Amino acid sequence: MKAIQHILGEVDELVIVVGSAQFNYSEKDPFTAGERVLMLRAALKEAGVDLGRVIIIPLNNFENNHSWVKYLESYVPPFDVAYTGNQFVAMLLRNAGYRVVQQPLFSRDIYVSTLVRKKMMDGDETWRELVPPSVAKILDELKSVERLRVISAGEADPLKW
Amino acid sequence: MKAIQHILGEVDELVIVVGSAQFNYSEKDPFTAGERVLMLRAALKEAGVDLGRVIIIPLNNFENNHSWVKYLESYVPPFDVAYTGNQFVAMLLRNAGYRVVQQPLFSRDIYVSTLVRKKMMDGDETWRELVPPSVAKILDELKSVERLRVISAGEADPLKW
Amino acid sequence: MKAIQHILGEVDELVIVVGSAQFNYSEKDPFTAGERVLMLRAALKEAGVDLGRVIIIPLNNFENNHSWVKYLESYVPPFDVAYTGNQFVAMLLRNAGYRVVQQPLFSRDIYVSTLVRKKMMDGDETWRELVPPSVAKILDELKSVERLRVISAGEADPLKW
Amino acid sequence: MKAIQHILGEVDELVIVVGSAQFNYSEKDPFTAGERVLMLRAALKEAGVDLGRVIIIPLNNFENNHSWVKYLESYVPPFDVAYTGNQFVAMLLRNAGYRVVQQPLFSRDIYVSTLVRKKMMDGDETWRELVPPSVAKILDELKSVERLRVISAGEADPLKW
Amino acid sequence: MKAIQHILGEVDELVIVVGSAQFNYSEKDPFTAGERVLMLRAALKEAGVDLGRVIIIPLNNFENNHSWVKYLESYVPPFDVAYTGNQFVAMLLRNAGYRVVQQPLFSRDIYVSTLVRKKMMDGDETWRELVPPSVAKILDELKSVERLRVISAGEADPLKW
Amino acid sequence: MKAIQHILGEVDELVIVVGSAQFNYSEKDPFTAGERVLMLRAALKEAGVDLGRVIIIPLNNFENNHSWVKYLESYVPPFDVAYTGNQFVAMLLRNAGYRVVQQPLFSRDIYVSTLVRKKMMDGDETWRELVPPSVAKILDELKSVERLRVISAGEADPLKW
């Protein structure tokens, strides 16, 4: 939220790309792209962000890295500057002529998705302090703890069944 | 715009699905999904719609119709009621348990995308009266008339080259 | 049924390939592959065929015709002879070294799937005389007439929505 | 075989899904889906099972877990109850409204496919005691030991060549 | 051949893209990409062209037109100028910054692939005058007349079987 | 180069398959298929090889191993004998009836791609001694060291973004 709010202080409109959109109910991507959009919007609303300035686009992965920026372009409105913390994505965007800004990170060692998921599965209720209240509420409604536990039991890999 | 505004009078938030998102620069889908998002947002803004209540999601086609609603669900936030003018989509959604409302149509015989495109290619400038001014402006910036003409010359089918 | 029974008079076991298995709820393939398996088995049972001698395999289409036989082979048990009425498939199988037998046809001008579907949509109840009673029963349970009508209204093409 | 026979004591007809059907000649899936169907049928026949009550359906993997049950449904006849030993698959099926029964396991620590394959590659002929005689015969005809050895040499991953 | 020789008079090395490479044994693409490479090379050799200056690359189709040039780029060595007779492809290449030259055409009304195929199927041996002798020889070895006849019988569309 | 030259001493024409052609800018496949074609040709030219006798074909991976040889066949001209150092590929080719020759290896412990890449990333300029001068020149032009470093930072996996 802080990173998004920071960026919104620098730009008019922000496109947030929800990647790996084709995956869900997996260890890396336990939630559907739609559920991720839901949580993002809830948290932004809660933080008082003007949702009208935020465009959230689910994007499937695409294996041809050389063509990835063009692929990205075809799914999002035109953009002037890109924020990312991923140096590889930054290189691809720069090669394509975009201005790239290092995405600001806040307390990156505390807000770690792997850690949040681990706490949830371990029954450690302090995970609730690591996500916005509105997101915690949605995670409860989605019965996320149960979902994560079943997924992490290691049988969710479609290659196995 | 009128249909969207009408629906926004009945619901809190509206998810607009931009279909055939994987296609672009083709006769049926001359614009990228991202360009379509851009035009939709511009027109909504111009019409005074609160963009914060509208969620625009690009969606690729999916051949397994029996599974299509579940596929759709995985890309959009949960929804209660679906508006569509397509009776086939309505049937799939009803089979999946959704309440479906006939999407209201306004002057459907005038606002026909095929007609707009034909006028554009024929050099008939009255196409500008059939789209919101903000969209006409974007279409000019995208050099749409030239794009449509080249596409309609019949060589844009990737199966042909 | 007659064709299958005829072939079962010549072979020990018969593999029936249900093609275009990835398609359903479309004009050409209104039923899911699973529903097609259901109807085939019901009719075979009704005709007194030993189901233990019949292996029904759904098969997705595959665009690389040169490789199609090898693709087919990977989904079905090994076979000695192939029955088909399609001369193209016959050519591919012969090129791959298989013995191919012309699939026997019975009253081919009467038992035409296009005709059956047309009658169903036109409300002409004589379609029931063109399918085995067990299949007619399943078609009723699947509300096929309604499904066919909605599909044939021309909006079922995923490329259109 | 025992599990299948046990289930056939509780149901009229059983659909056996042969998963990962698109893979073959790989470490995890050394046999084609068709070869797996062949072996299953041989063993069932040998065990005196009425093959007419068993429906074997090869099924390709599908990455969208949220939609997986609908995807499955489109390839198999309608079913009332699902047997599985995979808790993740059980969760997906329960979420879709199906009654799920824990698949019974017999001597699960002895009949382990990984172990059978290891013995085969190590030249330990006792693998023959772990599969039905009819399956051992097919495995010999398929020159499985040689196939497994070449595959396990670690060069079978298509991503590597 | 004349077009290729003309272009080779203007450039050092020429990349020839064999499109629709994933299709074969179909009405539009009766030959595999490999067979097309074979015929091209035979004709070039026969015409005395230095094969070392020609790079023939099979390329599958790609549906995302906006990204197509980047997709193309990832399969061919870097190039400075593109020759094409397809105005759509020309537009995509120009949008990507390439210099595009209209591909020279020689007796375009005589050397028409559709016509050659029609003659072959009609048993009109004058098709041999429309292709280089080396290509006619390969077409004979491939039993092309028989292949074309079976394909044109209208059963080759994988969507039909 | 030595292996290719050796094989060219035994055959008239050589088809070199550039595998995993759909991948690029990844740890395993840092270069596009086109860049790999470029480097191969440069090195062959430098070594005095007649490029007219070499056919370089990029080939995407294909998951169905049982059908892989037929898939390969559809992209390359007909061939009589196959050279490979991969025993799995050799088995598939032999099963399909091809004569397979063990690809000769020269100083295989020195010319190791993993090692070359490691040296490049470590700033160890001796990598230049492990590739032909013409290839070193291209690698410099492609800014390969920078590309490899960014990729190896571990963020290039499309599954991660």
pLDDT digits (tens, 9 = 90+) for E130-149: 999 999 999 999 999 999 99
Burial B19-57 (b: 16+ CB within 10 A, else e): bbbbbbbbeebbbbbbbbbbbbbbbbeeeebebbebbbb
What residues form DSSP beta bridges with A1? none
Distance from CA of E87 to the nearest CA of B (A): 7
> Is the pLDDT at A141 greater than 90, yes or no?
yes
Do A and C share at least 3 CB pairs under 8 Å?
no
What's the confidence (pLDDT) of residue B161?
45
- The dihedral built from the CA positions of residue A8, A13, A19 and A21, taken in this order, carries a sign that is positive
What's the confidence (pLDDT) of residue B95?
96
Residues above pLDDT 70, as percent of chain A: 95
Is E161 in the C-facing interface, judged by CB distances under 8 Å? yes
ipTM: 0.94
Domain boundaries, chain C: 2-106
Residues above pLDDT 90, as percent of chain C: 86
Q: Where does B2-156 sit in CATH, by number?
A: 3.40.50.620
Is A159 in the F-facing interface, judged by CB distances under 8 Å? no
Cα angle D23-D24-D25, degrees, rounded to a multiple of 5: 140
Partner residue opposite A65 with nearest CB, options F24, F146, F153: F24
Residues contacting residue F94 through CB under 8 Å, at least 6 positions apart: F100
- Chain D residues inside the 8 Å CB shell of A158: 61-63, 65, 68
- The dihedral built from the CA positions of residue F5, F10, F14 and F19, taken in this order, carries a sign that is negative
- Asked if F70 and F63 touch (Cβ cutoff 8 Å), the reply is no
CA B84, B88, B90, B96: dihedral to nearest 10 degrees?
A: -140
Q: What is the reported pTM? A: 0.95
- Among residues C75, B124, E59, F74, which one has the least CA distance to residue D34? C75
What's the confidence (pLDDT) of residue C157?
53
What's the confidence (pLDDT) of residue A3?
94
Distance from CA of D67 to the nearest CA of B (A): 5
Fold (CATH) for C2-106: Rossmann fold (3.40.50)
Do D and E share at least 3 CB pairs under 8 Å?
no
What's the confidence (pLDDT) of residue C160?
45
What's the confidence (pLDDT) of residue D117?
94
Partner residue opposite B37 with nearest CB, options A41, A55, A60: A55
Partner residue opposite D64 with nearest CB, options B66, B69, B74: B74
For residue E161, what pLDDT band results from cuts at 50, 70 and 90? Answer: very low
Partner residue opposite D88 with nearest CB, options A24, A32, A155: A155
pLDDT digits (tens, 9 = 90+) for C59-113: 999 999 999 999 999 999 999 999 999 999 999 999 999 999 998 888 888 998 9
Q: How far apart are CA D97 and CA B97, in angstroms?
A: 13
Residue holding tokens 């298929």? F33
The low-confidence residues of chain D, meaning pLDDT below 50, are 159-161
Q: How far apart are CA C157 and CA D13, in angstroms?
A: 34
Q: How far apart are CA C83 and CA F18, in angstroms?
A: 39
Q: How far apart are CA F97 and CA F81, in angstroms?
A: 10
φ, ψ for residue F103, nearest 5 deg: -65, 125
What's the confidence (pLDDT) of residue F159?
42
- Asked if B105 and B3 touch (Cβ cutoff 8 Å), the reply is yes
Least trusted range by pLDDT, from A40-44, A90-94, C156-160? C156-160
What's the confidence (pLDDT) of residue C161?
45
For residue A9, what pLDDT band results from cuts at 50, 70 and 90? Answer: very high
pLDDT digits (tens, 9 = 90+) for E91-129: 999 999 999 999 888 888 899 999 999 999 999 999 999
Residue holding tokens 């996500």? A131
What's the confidence (pLDDT) of residue B160?
45
The low-confidence residues of chain F, meaning pLDDT below 50, are 158-161
For residue B125, what pLDDT band results from cuts at 50, 70 and 90? Answer: very high
pLDDT digits (tens, 9 = 90+) for E53-76: 999 999 999 999 999 999 999 999
Q: How far apart are CA F156 and CA A65, in angstroms?
A: 8
What's the confidence (pLDDT) of residue F161?
45
> Is the pLDDT at C155 greater than 90, yes or no?
no
Is D47 in the C-facing interface, judged by CB distances under 8 Å? no
Any chains having at least 3 CB pairs less than 8 A from chain D are A, B, C, F
Average of pLDDT values for C107-129?
93
| Secondary structure element (H or E) that encloses residue F100, with its range | strand F99-102
D-chain residue closest to C60, CA distance: D60
What's the confidence (pLDDT) of residue C153?
84
Residues above pLDDT 70, as percent of chain C: 95
Cβ separation F58–E55 shorter than 8 A = no
If phi > 0 it is left, if psi is from -120 to 50 it is alpha, else beta; for residue D154 that is: left
Q: How far apart are CA E105 and CA B42, in angstroms?
A: 45
What residues form DSSP beta bridges with F82? F100
What's the confidence (pLDDT) of residue C105?
86
Average of pLDDT values for B118-147?
97
What's the confidence (pLDDT) of residue E160?
45
Q: How far apart are CA D125 and CA D122, in angstroms?
A: 9
Cβ separation F91–D24 shorter than 8 A = no
What's the confidence (pLDDT) of residue E127?
97
Cβ separation E34–F58 shorter than 8 A = no
pLDDT digits (tens, 9 = 90+) for F48-83: 999 999 999 999 999 999 999 999 999 999 999 999
Distance from CA of C97 to the nearest CA of F (A): 12
Cβ separation B76–A34 shorter than 8 A = yes
What does the mean pLDDT of chain D come to? 94
- Asked if A65 and F161 touch (Cβ cutoff 8 Å), the reply is no
